[in-house]
Structure 1
Amino acid sequence: MTPNPRTGKRLFQYALTAKGIFIAAFIALAIGVGAELAGPFIAKSMIDDHMLGIERPYFETTSAEQAAEYNGHYYKRGDRFDADESKGSQIQLLQSGRSFYFIDQAVAEPQGERTFLDGQMTIKYGDKVSQYPAQKLSATDLYSFYKPEIPGILKLVGLYCIFLIISIFTEFGKTYWLQSSANKVIQKLRNDVYAHMQRLPVYFFDTLPAGKVVSRITNDTEAVKDLFVAVLANFSSGVIYITGVYIALFLLDLRLGLVCLFIVPLLIAWIIFYRKFATKYNTIIRSRLSEINAIINESIQGMSIIRVFRRQKQTREEFETLNDDYMKHQNKMLNLNAFTTHNLVNVLRSFSFAVILAYFGFGSLSGGTAVSLGVLYAFVDVLGRLFQPITGMVNQLAALDSSMVSAGRVFTLMDEPGEDVTDGTMPRYKGNVEFKNVSFAYKKENYVLKNINFEAKQGQTVALVGHTGSGKSSIINLLFRFYDPQKGTITIDGQDVTDLPKQWIRHHMGIVLQDPYLFTGTIASNVSLGDEKISREQIEKALRDVGAQRILAHLPKGFDEPVVEKGSTLSAGQRQLISFARALAYDPAILILDEATANIDTETESLIQSALEVLKKGRTTFIIAHRLSTIRSADQILVLHRGEIVERGTHDELMQHNGRYYQMYQLQSGSSETSDKAQTQATTPSLA
């Protein structure tokens, strides 16, 4: 699955939800980059203007202010004189070797190779050779010329410290604001994904394992978070930093700045080339991780079955196959990163410094592009700083591609068509249900229900019987509008259900499944499901009405007993009673019992049956039954066979008909009698 080109645009739209914080982070970043890049310029000024500035022309003056004293005379640098201040004779200080020398006259060309011998300073520059009388300065004399520079040096040091403090605070602000804005974006993205998951139709989860859905909501969104935190931080700071570096390079030397521009297209081309391979690997990696989560989830859910049927080896082999493929593609990504990221930066760095050495070297030989030591230091320093953000950007290429692939997977899930969610509710309907010529197929023309017609009036109990696959559960799925029929109509109180929001219809329905699902919490919270409209009194009344008080009385905390891992610490009968109380607490107009007493012992079943006779009054009740003895009192029994209603009527009417229902009932009764007889014989003591 290749990331959709719109993925970047949609991520940008999510980033706009925290645009204020992002903008603050980028402003802090820009200020921090500027403060950090000020360092080389300060160093350049310190070297050229102060440390090597004493080689600039000096003039004799009568004022001691900003002047150096030598042999009873005061000398001040030419650039320190005021406009109206008169200048005396010019002198020059030049360095040769480790010593400085005083020349009591102007030097026409101070640049070049210098040598001092017998009181003469010889300067060779190209083919031109000049000589000047010179005196070697002692340490004390040299210090007197450096002393006026100390205030300027201290000022620059203080300025550097100020920029350093600014850089520290802006780095903190950038990191904090980028992290907090990323957290805010991912919080919204996760909320949106989870909310959309709640809107997805039930049949969507029939084809996508729960582990894969979990992986997209957790792992993939966490990878997207890395995009905003690490990748965005490195790339945005890298772009701003590189821009600042190039501005600094151009300010230092225009021609060399132009030469160094070759790095930018190389970097862009490399990112495109890298992602071409990385996207393919990361797509498989994220898919395998999702499949690993799915198989782990399935194995945990079915651990008891795996152990009972001794399938540990086969399950482990399936997991290892997925894990091996995951590791294989991770190693491919590792090889791609190892062969490229650091190698690329090292090659670019080495080539760039080679260009600088060639430029300055040949320029110095020809005398055409010689620069000051301060410029050279600043240029090397700034260019070295250029590769810090490049290294950060290149190192984040793997995270960038992984994040984009994960974002694509998240948005693919969000693009699945969901059901419309309508706020509000409708008045409690009576519960008159009618199916008119309903035909339904899960897949194309393979109909599982064919021309279904029946009517269930308020207060009636309708039982659906038939062999597995006859269509009983499909009728309930249509009633809940998990699916809609291809043909025919379903009405409640005469109104077509397709004209009503699904949430409104389900608000007045309750269901008890054969295998009830309990959520982590307490028994009471599983009855109300956190609905504030259901009071504690209603919860306890519902539990008492189904006889749960008697069955759950031995629990240490009663109705506040904790429920963990789908109620694994409770018996099947206890879980069913809680599920039954849940349906009753919502006071449904339509009650569906999907073989609700199948997993309950005889004593518990008798409690529920007696409660049902009271609770079914005024409600339309649908019962999916396999044990026909439990539906003898039903007002209407529908016998289904291969998606069609083949018989209908009360228990007595169907028994007199001697049809399919009669045969099913006789078969169950015979099996029951045979079982009871066998049990009696087994428990009767032998007379022999």
Structure 2
Amino acid sequence: MSTMSTKSTKVNRRLFQYALTAKKTFISALILLAIGVGANLAGPFIAKTMIDDHLLGIEKPYYETTSTHNAAQYEGKWYKRGERFEAGETKGHEVRILEVGRQFVFVNEPVTSTEGEKSLSDGKLTISYGETSKTYAAERLSAKELLAFYKLEMPGIIKLIGWYFLFLFISIVAEFGKTYWLQSSANKVIQKLRMDLYAQIQRLPVHFFDNLPAGKVVSRVTNDTEAVKDLFVVVLSNFFSGFINMIGVYVALFLLDVRLGLVCLFIVPVIIGWIALYRKFATKYNTVIRSRLSEINAIINESIQGMSIIRVFRRQKQTSDEFEALNKDYMTYQNKMLNLNALTSHNLVNVLRNFSFTVVLWFFGSAALNGVGIVSMGVLYAFVDVLNRLFHPIIGMVNQLATMDSSLVSAGRVFQLMDEPGEDVTEGSMPRYKGNVTFKDVSFAYKKDYVLNNISFEAKQGQTVALVGHTGSGKSSIINLLFRFYDPQKGTITIDGQDVKEIPKQWLRQHMGIVLQDPYLFTGTIASNVSLGDERISRETALKALRDVGAERILAHLPQGFDEPVVEKGSTLSAGQRQLISFARALAFDPAILILDEATSNIDTETEAIIQSALEVLKKGRTTFIIAHRLSTIRSADQILVLHRGHIVEQGTHDELMELKGRYYQMYQLQQGSTESNTSSEQVAVSQLNTVPNAVV
């Protein structure tokens, strides 16, 4: 529990730091929120004043006067309330107007106390105080006579109504400003969070994505950040407004009556305890919900990418079953959250509200209604109104508990990805190096077992080095080390005599190019896939690169030529067309070191001639590494490295290796389908190749 609390504290602290990026608008929103709360809470006070000073204020003492200003006439005499006499004005005989049941009476003498039970009989008003009572002569007031006294209250009532509408207008304006500034600042925070998260994804080492499906990464950037946005826009709004409202309400309660305020203080610890208990269960459920949603995105992404394979091998049912299992688990935990909310949230608020009203009305209301009240009717009305307003923010806060917890869980997942160790991004660049590459006693392991052992070779500027061997022999691992996707555990790799570990990765890769077996094309046009939007590569440079590799010959028939749209990784283009675009891309960037990763293995025979011609253009003046399965395509290589289980077992030119009649010779003969080898040599070749199945594909 302490670990979860510590983690939650760290997440809250980091969210607060992000909120500081838009602190001005956040502060402005909160100020408007406070103004709106104050304006909104003015209503009960206005109602209290209206009831106590005007509607029930008619029962206050009146005095006979000779002035007609602010005075009411009754039976030829003028009467004015005591507090309305001006300085120097003489007060005459005291009278009272009291309510008895549904009628009002005029008492032509002072009344000691109006508290108690009142009764009227035969022109006599009796006020009982427990065991004692007092009787006064009283006359019933007609509606017209009563209205004469109530007319005096109308200016005050109209003034209070005017103040009410003014505060209502202020509240509306403050609510609009608060909502606008709070949401705009939240959008600004989420924009920065997404940019930081995307920048972090760019910094993450390549091997990180080997273990995390693309769909899960996408879920972090989209679904989880959107959930964090809900935290700032919805949860923050409700909780801050709720918090300020509650403070305002409690201030109002204590201003109305301290005893009433103290009675209602029990609500605060109950709410705090409930939130802590709720999150204990909700966090566990939401963690699973966000994880399952991420897995659902991953399986959808994988299914779309491999839809052709799924249909060819009739895996629709198995894929659907996998998806259904994840979706069912997701629904199960969603239902658990729904049950948690349904069983607790609204029930808690209703119980608290009903209990609070019961206590207040029982303790204070009954006394006030019996005429021996501790508080006035206006205070009681205002208090019930204010207390009712207390539960509006509580309902808003409780209703957002699920969103808050889901958002905090999502924020934790986002920050977890942002805390992954990434590669430092170094600004600037370095001059184009010559491309003299040296591997010296290099050993490397992805996990525990070494996949490369004591690899040593040298590739000079302008040379072509071919890497051959069976699957898993270490060819791609050498390229990964050269690109510094990984660093070796032993040995050194140098370029032009400088250790690659001393060169920033971005600078190193700036002068490297690669052509993959299945080249990746981005959405755009053929020309934009050559330049990749790099400002250093003009359109003229990109088109020249396409022409130099011979792409014009097989792309000329396209309706828009080099401006033909490319969609969904170039699915509308043939393998040869995609490969030529990839060659042109490498040529346009003019790398010092070029890697061709089985670049001709998927090409038909007719297109291969064009590809081979493009290869010759590409290799000029640069160090080239070729991973090849077709050994016929590397006969002209300056150096061929034959790899087997992480070791270089043979090294030399094509002719030199053929003379050795070793592993390379046997692989070449097997590919060429030669029948010149005698039976014993074929048996040797087969016996050796049996140890490395699928040696050449």
TM-score normalised to structure 1 length: 0.96
Structure 2 Cα separation of the partners of residues 365 and 104 of structure 1: 25
Once residues 229 and 616 of structure 2 are traced to their aligned partners in structure 1, the CA distance between those partners, rounded to angstroms, is: 55
Question: After superposition, where does 1:383-402 map in structure 2 within 5 Å?
Answer: 383-402=387-406
Q: Which moved more, 1:91-100 or 1:14-23?
A: 91-100
Which of 38, 46, 50 is the aligned partner of 2:50?
A: 46
Which residue is equivalent to 1:336?
340
Cα separation, 2, equivalents of 1:595 and 1:518: 17
User: Structure 1 residue 111: deviation in Å?
Assistant: 1.6
Mapped contact 1:126–1:367 kept (Cα < 8 A): no
1:590 to 585, 588, 593: 593
Task: List gaps (5 residues or longer) in structure 1.
Answer: 675-688
Contact 2:481–2:488 (CA under 8 A) maintained in structure 1: yes
SS in 2 for 1:23: helix
Please give the alpha-carbon distance, in whole angstroms, between the structure 1 residues aligned to 2:206 and 2:577.
Answer: 27
> Which residue in the other structure is 1:242 paired with?
246
2:117–2:370 contact (8 Å) kept in structure 1: no
State the distance in 1 between where 2:248 and 2:339 align.
33
Letter of the 2:274 partner, please give it: W
Using a 3 Å threshold, how does the CA distance of structure 1 residues 366 and 139 change in structure 2: closer, same or farther?
A: closer
The residue correspondences of 1:362-441 to structure 2 (distance < 5 A) are 363-364=367-368, 369-441=373-445
Question: What's 1:37 paired with?
Answer: 41
Q: SS in structure 1 opposite 2:446?
A: strand
Alignment correspondent of 1:452: 455
What pairs up with 1:50-449 in 2 under 5 angstroms? 50-361=54-365, 363-364=367-368, 369-444=373-448, 446-449=449-452
Query: Unmatched 5+ residue regions in structure 2?
Result: 678-697
Map 1:528-607 → 2, pairs under 5 A: 528-607=531-610
Mapped contact 2:637–2:653 kept (Cα < 8 A)? yes
Partners of 2:115 and 2:237 in 1: CA distance:
46
Q: What is the distance in 2 between the residues matched to 1:369 and 1:161?
A: 31
Shift in Å at residue 611 of structure 1? 2.8
Aligned to 1:464: 467
Which residue does 1:665 correspond to in 2?
Answer: 668
TM-superposed CA distance for 1:671, in Å, is 7.0
| In structure 2, distance between residues paired with 1:507 and 1:208 | 26
Alignment deviations for residues 610-632 of structure 1 (CA, whole Å, 9 cap, x no partner): 23223312100000010000001
> 1 CA distance for matches of 2:321 and 2:387?
53
Q: What percentage of residue pairs aligned between the two structures are identical? A: 77
- In the aligned structure 2, how far is the partner of 1:365 from the partner of 1:139? 24
Distance 1:628 1:673 in 2: 18
- For residues 16 and 617 of structure 2, the distance between their equivalents in structure 1, rounded to whole angstroms, comes to 58
Structure 1 letter corresponding to 2:430:
M
Q: What is the distance in 2 between the residues matched to 1:157 and 1:361?
A: 26
The equivalent residue for 1:634 is 637
Q: Structure 1 residue 21 and structure 2 residue 29: aligned?
A: no
* CA displacement at 1:366 relative to structure 2: 8.9
* 1:619 corresponding residue in structure 2: 622
> 1:466, 1:640 within 8 Å by CA — same for their partners in 2?
yes
Are the equivalent residues in 1 in contact too, given 2:439–2:493 (CA < 8 A)?
yes
Secondary structure, aligned partner of 1:114: strand
- The change in CA–CA distance for 1:185 and 1:533 in structure 2 (over 3 A counts) is same
Q: Would the aligned equivalents of 2:442 and 2:456 in 1 still touch at CA under 8 Å?
A: yes
Distance 1:570 1:665 in 2: 32
Label 1:121 to 1:98 Cα distance change in 2 as closer, same or farther (>3 A): same
- What is the alpha-carbon distance in structure 2 between the residues aligned to residue 371 and residue 8 of structure 1? 44
Matches within 5 A, 1:467-486: 467-486=470-489
Residue 369 of structure 1 and its aligned partner are, at CA, apart by 4.4
Question: Secondary structure at the residue paired with 1:532?
Answer: coil
Partner of 1:516: 519
Change (3 A) 1:369 1:111: closer
For residue 133 of structure 1, report the CA deviation from its aligned partner: 1.0
- Counterpart of 2:497 in structure 1 is 494
CA distance in 2, matches of 1:361, 1:434: 93
Taking structure 1 as reference, are residues 455 and 673 closer, same or farther at Cα in structure 2, changes over 3 Å only?
Answer: same
- For 1:283 and 1:614, locate their aligned partners in 2 and report how far apart those are by CA, in whole Å: 54
Opposite residue 309 of structure 2, the aligned amino acid is I
Amino acid at match of 1:243: I
Shift of 1:368: 6.4
On the 8 A contact 1:58/1:92 being kept in 2, the answer is yes
Number of positions where the alignment pairs a residue of Structure 1 with one of Structure 2: 673
The C-alpha deviation readout for 1:483-502, integer Å capped at 9, x for no partner, is 00000000000000000100
SS of alignment partner, residue 506 of structure 1: helix
Matched residue SS, 1:93:
strand
- Matched-pair contact (CA < 8 Å) for 2:282–2:405: yes
The alpha-carbon distance between structure 1 residues 671 and 380, as it changes in their structure 2 partners (threshold 3 A), is farther
Give the whole-Å Cα distance in 2 for the aligned partners of 1:462 and 1:174: 66
Task: Tell me the distance in 2 between the aligned counterparts of 1:665 and 1:4.
Answer: 62
Code of the residue aligned with 1:206 in structure 2: it is D
Corresponding residue for residue 694 of structure 2:
none
Give the 3-state SS of the residue equivalent to 1:134 in structure 2.
strand
Root mean square deviation of aligned Cα: 1.5
Q: How far did residue 365 of structure 1 move?
A: 8.6
1:635-654 equivalences under 5 Å are: 635-654=638-657
Matching residue of 1:679: none
Cα separation, 2, equivalents of 1:365 and 1:615? 99
* Offset of residue 608 of structure 1: 2.2
How many Å separate the matches in 1 of 2:236 and 2:674?
A: 70
TM-superposition CA deviations, 1:77-108 (whole Å, max 9, x none):
00111232221111100111222111111111
For residues 447-501 of structure 1, the C-alpha deviation after alignment (integer angstroms, 9 at most, x for no partner) is 1111111111111111011111111000000000000000000000000000010
Q: Look up the SS of the partner of 1:5 in the other structure.
A: helix
Give the match's secondary structure for 1:152. Answer: helix
| 1:364–1:370 contact (8 Å) kept in structure 2 | yes
Question: In the TM superposition, what whole-angstrom CA distance separates every residue of 1:196-215 from its partner, at most 9, and x where no partner exists?
Answer: 00000000000001111110
TM-score with structure 2 setting the length = 0.95
1:142 Cα deviation after fit: 1.1
Which amino acid in structure 2 is aligned with residue 267 of structure 1? Answer: I
SS of aligned partner of 1:489: strand
Counterpart contact for 2:549–2:617, Cα < 8 Å: no
Mean Cα displacement is larger for which, 640-649 or 603-612? 603-612
For residue 505 of structure 2, what is the amino acid of its counterpart? K
CA distance in 2, matches of 1:97, 1:672: 124
* Aligned-residue offset at 1:358: 1.8
In the TM superposition, residue 363 of structure 1 has moved relative to its aligned partner by 3.9
**Alignment partners' CA distance in 2, 1:425 and 1:588:** 14
